[in-house]
Structure 1
Amino acid sequence: MNITYFGHSCLFVESGGKKVIIDPFLSGNPASGVSPNEIEADAVLLTHAHDDHFGDSIEIAKRNDCPIVAVFELAMHCVRLGARAHAMNIGGAYDFDGFRVKYTQAFHGSSLREGDTYHYAGQPAGILLTMDGKTIYHAGDTSLFGDMKLIGEMNDIALAALPIGDNFTMGPEDAVHAARWLRAKRVVPLHYDTFPVIRQDTGKFAAMLGEHDIACFPLKSKETISI
């Protein structure tokens, strides 16, 4: 399984000939260094509807004729915008062709912006993505919550992608607790440095994880790791 980081909270995951992209905030994020026109994907997976996660979902899905996978309310919004969508909800799992998706809870918000107005877009979520027998956990935007222990007990998580930016999500200290509770072998930090209010020291975060023998991969945009 190859995992490529495209900045902020966007991961591109490829294994067994299948390609999925999670939270593709690309054209609106100058740090991504990637155009949505460059993305070839079999599915777009969304954790929630905020602009810095919903991003270029519609354009990528239409160009690749692939579904957007999201919680029900957000999926129906994608359909209204002309994209194909597969609606799911918290706790549900589905076996697609070549990969499995399960949605977990997350503690955050989820709304769609139309002009100066924001509309409810269903619950925010985390994603357990399994490809070729390996499972990664994308926590989405969330605080630390106790059921991460249960997620770790029920799943063999090869890699956890966790927000560390603080202010809107967990900060580094809470993310270390999350990694331990998830029993994650590796961690990729997400949702940091994109805006001044979420700047973080990834070296310090990596050192904190290292105290618990957890490997940290603070990737730069377009960098890939294989697991």
Structure 2
Amino acid sequence: MSTTYGGLTIDWLGYATSRITDGERVVYIDPGRYGVLDGYDARDGDLVLVTHDDHYDPDGIERVAADDAVVCVFEEIRSEEIDRESRPVSDLEYEIRRVGTGDSFAVDGIKIEAISAYNTSEGHVRADGTPYHPEGEGVGYRLDFGDTTVFYPGDSDVIEEYEGLTADVFLAPIDDAFTMSPGAVLDLAERIGAELVVPVHYDTFEALEADDEAFAASARERGLTVELLSPEV
């Protein structure tokens, strides 16, 4: 199940994995983890974006990336520091770009901005009070396709770096376990002027369970357009 906006077709493939295409260029964000791409072997991605180590999945990248893909990976991801089996970024056989917070660049005519992503001390924290995602350990991405902009915040609370941000499409994590709360999502959607809100990053496992129908109802009460997608691959 897909949705369309401004010449773009958007799919949510499960967990944080989104596929966006304008019919010529194909972009994937945070492909893989937790088996969400089992059985998926499109290998049609021109651009693959990875936000932080929780979403770094070499197998997932290989399932979505075309042979000549550009794979952009947050610069602080180190496979040897990930507490699960992984492979070094340098082993991926694509054009690799390491991305830092605040970087702006273009790939295949798509303008990309890497925006800081983190949990605040007042937001989502562990039992000892430390944020699940400290500042400096990940990014979100704003994509400009020319006529339409898309924002995915990664694993983050609402942070000051979003001041002045605008986007037509908001890929909104709604799990409220490691990312901003549903209410904060709606507030942010209004602030950035989102014309379409697409919930992602929920229901993959128990900690991410969310009531997407209640979220959609709240969004519509506030005059927002929301599209619930089925994460089938």
SS in 2 for 1:29: coil
Match of residue 68 from structure 2:
65
Match of residue 212 from structure 2:
202
CA contact (8 A) 2:141 2:151 kept: yes
Match of residue 156 from structure 2:
142
Structure 1 position 177 matched with structure 2 position 187: yes
1:131 is matched by which residue type in structure 2? F
Q: Alpha carbon RMSD of aligned pairs, Å?
A: 2.6
Query: CA 1:131/1:183 → structure 2, altered by over 3 Å: closer, same or farther?
Result: same
Structure 1 position 102 matched with structure 2 position 113: yes
Match of 1:91 among 79, 102, 107: 102
CA contact (8 A) 1:21 1:41 kept: yes
Separation of aligned partners in 1, 2:45 and 2:97: 15
Separation of aligned partners in 2, 1:33 and 1:81: 19
Which structure 2 segments of 5+ residues have no match? Answer: 1-7, 80-87, 121-133
Superposed CA offset, 1:76-112 (max 9, x none): 9412455431122111211111311111111149xxx
Identity %: 26
Separation of aligned partners in 1, 2:23 and 2:65: 23
Which structure 1 segments of 5+ residues have no match? Answer: 110-119
Number of positions where the alignment pairs a residue of Structure 1 with one of Structure 2: 203
2:19 is matched by which residue type in structure 1? F
Length-normalised TM-score, structure 1: 0.79
Match of residue 22 from structure 1:
29
Query: CA 1:34/1:210 → structure 2, altered by over 3 Å: closer, same or farther?
Result: farther
CA contact (8 A) 2:141 2:154 kept: yes
How do 1:1-227 and structure 2 match up within 5 A? 1-25=8-32, 28-30=34-36, 34-35=39-40, 37-50=41-54, 53-55=55-57, 56-60=59-63, 64-74=67-77, 77-108=88-119, 123-152=137-166, 157-222=167-232
1:67 offset after TM fit, Å? 2.0
More helix by percentage? 1
Length-normalised TM-score, structure 2: 0.77
